[in-house]
Structure 1
Amino acid sequence: MFHERIPETFQLLPASADRRRNVWSALLPHRGRAAARIALSSALAATDLAAILAVMLFMECAYEIVYQDGLIGTGILRGLRLASLLGLVIVATNALRAEYSLDNVIARKSNIQRTASLWLVAWAAVLVVGFMTKTTVDYSRLVSLGSFLAGLPALILTRGAMVRLVRRRLTAGSASVSRVHLVGYEEDITRFYASNAIDRLGLRIVGTSYLRRVDPGADTAARHDQLQEDLDLAVSVVRFLRPDDVFVLVPWTDNAEVERCIDAFLRVPSALHLRPGAMLDRFPDLQVARVGGVSGINIGRRPLNLGEVVLKRALDLTVATIALVSLSPLLALIALAIKLDSRGPVFFRQKRYGFNQQPFGVFKFRSMRTEANAVFRQATRNDNRITRVGAILRRTNLDELPQLLNVLRGEMSLVGPRPHALAHDRSFERRIALYARRHNVRPGITGWAQVNGFRGETLTDLDMERRVACDLHYIDNWSVWFDLQIMIQTLISRRAYRNAF
């Protein structure tokens, strides 16, 4: 059993009461940690309030200047009242959800859907209060609509800027970060350091206690005594260092050892955490979930529930119908150009796997010359089979437009993992972990992998692994807002056209 990060200065100091008190003071949790965290949370809340207040005052003042002969005093008072009510709802709700806590700022990615939902709730509260107090007539509909539309982007942008600033300035030496002590076998602690960028975790490791591997040939009593000796010493070190959190890195397969670690460290005034070996490295977003009366660790969400399916299908039908009607002249011109450019059909149809690996025929504009009895071969850069019109269609993604028909037929969605040829599916499913999980949702015309540039020819397994990682991220983080974001990026992002040939 040995430990790290016990200050050598403590071992060298004379047994002086004053000197010992100085060392203890340095080792105790930083006195300003709570104050620093409160200041950080207050700054985030103040940022939200400032964004709301700025939008409200700007709208009211602009309205007064344009329509009320420049008398802005009344407008400022109305803006302050409205901003106060909106800010109260938003800040109070975020505080209750711990949105302003440092741990959430570090770990949680910005969630536009949560912010948008809260913004709608806040405005609903404003309408209810206005109705109950009969004050809705005091506010201009133009100002209210402008504030509603401009307030959400302002809230998202200012919060995002503040979070990025906090993450950039946060270091292991910051007063607000948690002080952590690690306990486990040497190989598990080494793996922890190797798989995590410690300086980016938003914590400071103040101590490490290594447990000795028990000799398999030793009798039960000797093995028990050795582990107990290690744990007693580790507990003493934890009591001395006073960390905020203790992480036990012993694999869960060593059930008896984990139980004894729990019993040992529940006796010290620190939060206790267990990490299930390499499981968290493979699934970094594990959550404890309840199904009925049973608790378990959720490592993958189920396919979309009924409400989500209906919502996504409604979005697909609406956008696909509008797109087909509005783009019908363009589709006709493309079809004519294909017929004039080379012999063969306008459409290319090929079997692909869809939801739950059910095969279907995908529609595309033909971009290659037809070959009798041709064996499937993936298109490559400068492929001599690609026609002149086909090259333009592939570079601009216009060859995918006929898949709007697949969307209307329910075989595809506008957004989802791109369907691959059956030969690719069978090949990569055997070589890439969780590849088949892409079929847990309907395939899409575009997807998160495509807008990040992971498309086109897959020369290595790594190329496909990056694409699959994006697809799985989409499945685990689906929302209507995410779909809309991907659609917009498909049209305007340069990366969406990368590797298109």
Structure 2
Amino acid sequence: MSHYGTNQVSPRHTASQMFQQRLPEIYQTLPAARDTRRDAWAAVLPRRWRGAIRFGLSTALAVSDLVAILVTAYLVEAIYYEFAFDQQIATGMTGSFQLAGLVAVFVLLTNVVRDEYSIETQLTRGLHRRRMASLWLAAWGIVLVVGFATKTTTDFSRAVAIGFFLTGLPALYLSRLVIVGLVRRTMTSGSPSISRIHLVGFEEDIASFHANNDAQALNLRVIGTSYLRRVDPREDASVRQAQMSEDLDLAVSVVRFLRPDDVFILVPWTDAADIERCVDAFLRVPAALHLRPGSVMDRFPDLKLARVGRLSGINIGRRPLTFSEIALKRGLDVVLSAIALVLLAPLLASIALLIKLDSPGPVFFRQRRYGFNQQAFGVFKFRSMKTEQNAVFRQATRNDSRITRIGAILRRTNLDELPQLINVLMGEMSLVGPRPHALAHDRSFERRIALYARRHNVMPGITGWAQVNGLRGETLTDLDMERRVNHDLHYIDNWSVWLDIQIMIQTIASRRAYRNAR
């Protein structure tokens, strides 16, 4: 790869050399045989039916959703009639098809508007369970509103409607899982429907792109590269401008010939003038134009342009929870924790009695921990260790001699955490969230683990995503805590009511939730 200087090479020779370097290697070593050469050109030039293939794959996704909805509704109604009336449903437009049709119209139209069926969406996001669940609930909300407005709710069997509501979403998941799997298998590096991109930038930026990105893993094909030449900073501004104009004119010519889907400008954002010239040049070609400021883009996969008032900016992260989400989560916490305290009152009283009989000391153990926004509070737990005067905090370890007989049972079964239901009612904790750590641990890990303090952007919880995945108990190394923190951050970034309910169920029923409990 040559590094271009200034005036030692004739413009004609420079242009020819740049053209050769802008083309993929396959162009520079074209075979002599005519048929083989034709195949080589076909590998990088757009296929005639490429658009139709991509449209067909997107249509297949939409059709799979439609079929999943209609078939599920029909099967639910057929099973209901078979067991309830011992007869088969009549052929034709049944009530289930009418209900499913209304749900399907809303689901499909919304997904089309959100570009959910595009190839890029499926390759990057795949199954987005939260979005699918939200859309399913919204569709049924529309069904209820339409049924109430038209007074047709009595036309449909309640048993069929409930059965369809409960089974339709899993059927959509399964159908999408199969189709997306097929799409991903067809989108190989040799697939005619894969995205074809052209890179533009200085030599070191393009080299960095190739070093940090595997085009095949990204489901992309780099069909061309245009290198921009660096100019000696001592040169006059007019020389730099003339050279940049020459480079960009040649690059635009190559892009017009290759007809890529997307052009990526890899010029650093600090070179604002060069970016402006690149943008002006490539807005003249029929390809999507992208600016890529570097590795910062890879840290935030959900970047989007946002406006605050009349100010525009690139949004790299939203608030952990919106006001409505906070209200919904708080309502769920209050209702469930109050019910749990009433139902578990006999169990709590029995545990308290056993603790008093087992060893001297208080029933409850209260320790200062950081909560939301790093505000300290006292967390309640059943005492599981022997009482020690003026003891320095030390994390419990396996076979710790300080743990009492009852305490060992409480820790293995997670029952020592039940008094934190009081913290939930007091608004200091949530049922689900990152587990709060002792103050000494927080200060220590915050200095050593990146983004550790981000755990405090939401309310701490009695249980959490890390705990139901077996990441609890003693943290012997920073790597142990990093795994726990990564799971907590995943929970913050993907919160939903359904995720909270899933974690609550797994806390009780999953064997992994009891792993490392001691």
TM-score of the pair, normalised by structure 2: 0.87
> Residues 181 and 456 from structure 1, CA distance in 2 versus in 1: closer, same or farther, beyond 3 angstroms?
farther
Distance in 2 (alpha carbons) for counterparts of 1:362 and 1:109:
40
Aligned residues: 500
Q: 1:195–1:281: 8 Å Cα contact kept in structure 2?
A: no
Give the counterpart letter for 2:359 in structure 1: S
1:280 lines up with 2:293 in the alignment? no
Distance 1:247 1:429 in 2: 37
Equivalents in 2 of 1:331, 1:153: separation in Å? 38
Aligned to 1:143: 160
In 2, Cα distance between equivalents of 1:142 and 1:360: 48
Stretch of structure 1 that moved more, 457-466 or 350-359: 457-466
Aligned AA (1:457): E
Contact 2:201-2:228 within 8 A present in 1 as well = yes
Task: Point out the more displaced range, 107-116 or 440-449.
Answer: 107-116
Residue number among 193, 199, 204 corresponding to 2:216 in the alignment: 199
Secondary structure of 1:445 counterpart? strand
Partner residue in 2 for 1:493? 510
Shift in Å, 1:202? 2.4
Q: Please tell me whether residue 46 in structure 1 is matched to residue 81 in structure 2.
A: no
Query: Within the alignment, does 1:454 sit opposite 2:471 as a pair?
Result: yes
- Work out the CA distance in 2 between the residues paired with 1:460 and 1:228: 55
- TM-align CA RMSD: 2.8
In the TM superposition, 1:67-466 aligns within 5 A as: 67-73=84-90, 77-108=94-125, 110-127=127-144, 130=147, 135-466=152-483
Matches of 1:416 and 1:298, distance apart in 2:
24
Distance 1:217 1:150 in 2: 71
| Contact 2:200–2:267, Cα closer than 8 Å, also in 1 | yes
Which 5+ residue runs of structure 1 have no aligned equivalent?
A: none
User: Distance in 1 between the 2:223 and 2:388 partners?
Assistant: 67
Using the aligned pairs only, state the percent identity: 67
CA shift, 1:415, in A, is 1.4
Report SS of the residue matched to 2:175: helix
- The offset of 1:494, in angstroms, is 3.2
In structure 2, the CA distance between the partners of 1:92 and 1:160, relative to structure 1 (3 Å rule), is: same
More displaced 10-residue stretch of structure 1: 204-213 or 432-441: 204-213
Task: Give deviations 1:389-438, integer Å, cap 9, x for gaps.
Answer: 32332222222111111111000111112111111211222222322222
- The 1:66/1:425 distance shift into structure 2, 3 A limit, reads closer
State the alpha-carbon separation in 2 of the partners of residues 374 and 197 from structure 1: 54
8 Å CA contact 2:199–2:265 kept in 1: the answer is yes
Cα offset, 1:244, TM superposition: 0.5
Deviation of the 1:19 alpha carbon: 9.1
Structure 2 unaligned runs (5+)? 4-17
Alpha-carbon shift at residue 10 of structure 1 (Å) = 6.0
Which moves more between the two structures, 125-134 or 290-299? Answer: 125-134
- Indicate conservation of the 8 Å contact 1:4/1:208, yes or no: yes
Deviation at 1:444, TM superposition (A): 1.1
1:468 to 485, 489, 496: 485
Tell me the SS of whatever aligns to 1:349: strand
Letter in 1 for 2:237: T
In the aligned structure 1, how far is the partner of 2:341 from the partner of 2:214? 48
Alpha-carbon distance in structure 2 between the residues aligned to 1:211 and 1:463: 46
Alpha-carbon displacement from aligned partner over 1:82-113 (angstroms, at most 9, x marks no partner): 33332222212212221111111122253334
Determine if contact 1:182/1:207 at 8 Å carries over to the other structure. Answer: yes
Matched, 1:6 2:27: no
2:96 and 2:160 in contact (8 A); partners too: no
TM-score, scaled to structure 1: 0.90
1:481 corresponds in structure 2 to: 498
1:34, 1:150 → 2: CA distance? 35
User: Using the alignment, how far apart are the partners of 2:440 and 2:146 within structure 1?
Assistant: 61
Matched residue SS, 2:222: strand
Secondary structure, counterpart of 2:395 in structure 1: coil
SS in structure 2 at match of 1:151 = helix
